[in-house]
Structure 1
Amino acid sequence: MPRRFIRHPASIPIQIGKRVSSDHDTQYHTQTVDVSAGGLSCESEFLMSPGEPVEVEIALNQPPFKTIGHVVWCKHNGDRFLVGIGFADLATAYAVRMVEQVCYIEEYRQAVLEEEGRELSSEDAALEWISKHAGDFPQNVH
C-alpha cells in the first residue's frame, strides 16, 4: 500500500509526554526524524503501543506549541525505539509543519550571524528565508 503522506526529514527539538501509569507521567526531550502531513516520527526511550496518546511539545517560542497525538507505530531502533505519531486532524498536522518552517528560519538566522556577522530579527530572517528558500520548502503531497 503506498504511503498516504510524503515524509520530509526534519530535526526539530521536541518534548514527548507519555502516561506511564494512572498517577505518573514521563516526559523526555528528543528530536523529530521526519515530519509529514499526517504526523511525525521521533526516537523514544520507551516502547509505545499503537493508539496510545502522547503529548508533543515544541518550545521554539513562548508559549510553546503543544498538541496531543497518538502512536501509530513503534519499532526497535538499536537500544531505543523509533515512534510514528499521528495527529487527529490535518489542522494540527499543518501547525506542526509551520513549526518546522519556523525551525528552518531560526537556523537561517543563526547561520547568517555566524557566516556574515549580520544580526537579523526573527521577522527579517523570515522575510529573507521566504524570499530565498520558500520555493524549496517541501510541500505536503497527498
Structure 2
Amino acid sequence: MLTEFLSLLCLGLSLGFEDEKKNETLPKPSFSALSSLVVGYRGNVTLRCQSHFQNVTFMLGKLQDSRYRQEQRSTGHKAEFLLTHLEPKDAGMYFCAYKTMVSQEWSGESEYLQLKVRDVHDGHGAMEGKN
C-alpha cells in the first residue's frame, strides 16, 4: 500500500513538473543577417534565427505586416530564411521566434533587424540609367 501511494505521489509530482515546464517562458532567439542588411534592388539576403533548443519550429515575421509569416522546422538549433528578389516594399523590421514540440507556444520575439532595399530609381539600383 505504501509502495502504491509513493508511486502515485511520484507520478503526480512528475506530471506537475511537466505542466510547470510547459508554462515557462522560452528565451528569446538570436537573430542575425549573413550579409549586409542594405540590399540592392532584386537582391537577396539570408536571415538566421537561432535557439538554445533542437527540434523546433522557427517563424520569421515582419513588424509592419502582421500577415507576413514564414515558418521552418529544424532538427538543429537554427533556421535560415532566404529572402530573394527583394524590392523596396520588402524593406522593414524583421524578427523571429520559435516554438518547441513540448510547449507549442511561441517564444518571445528576437531583436529586430532593419532591412533596407535600394530603389531602382534612386541612382543605385540595378537598372540605373534606364527608363
TM-score range, shorter chain: 0.3 to 0.5
Larger helix share, 1 or 2 = 1
Larger Rg: 2
User: Higher relative contact order at CA 8 Å, sep ≥6: structure 1 or structure 2?
Assistant: 2
- Using structure 2 for the length normalisation, give the TM-score: 0.34
